[in-house]
Amino acid sequence: MKKSTPVPNAWLARRMKMGEPASVSQFVWRLLLTPEGQKAVGRLLSQVKP
């Protein structure tokens, strides 16, 4: 997510209800380890990227 957006982890954590800001990177990293997670992140990013 941080590769695709300039917003701080604290904002992502609050907006996505992911707990502590430090957890955001770990959650996204774990999600990206799976093909399903990669597709899901791709779909989400395509909705917010111009």
Is this structure's pTM higher than 0.75?
Answer: no
Q: Residues 12, 18: contact at Cβ < 8 Å? A: yes
Whole-number Å distance between alpha carbons of 20 and 9: 9
Q: Is residue 1 predicted with pLDDT exceeding 60?
A: no
Q: What is the pLDDT of residue 27?
A: 82
Q: What is the pLDDT of residue 8?
A: 86
Return the DSSP state at 8: -
Whole-number Å distance between alpha carbons of 30 and 36: 11
At 7, the pLDDT band (50, 70, 90 cuts) reads confident
Q: pLDDT tens digit string along 12-46?
A: 888 878 888 887 778 888 988 999 999 998 888 78
Map out the domains of the chain as residue ranges: 9-48
Q: What is the pLDDT of residue 39?
A: 93
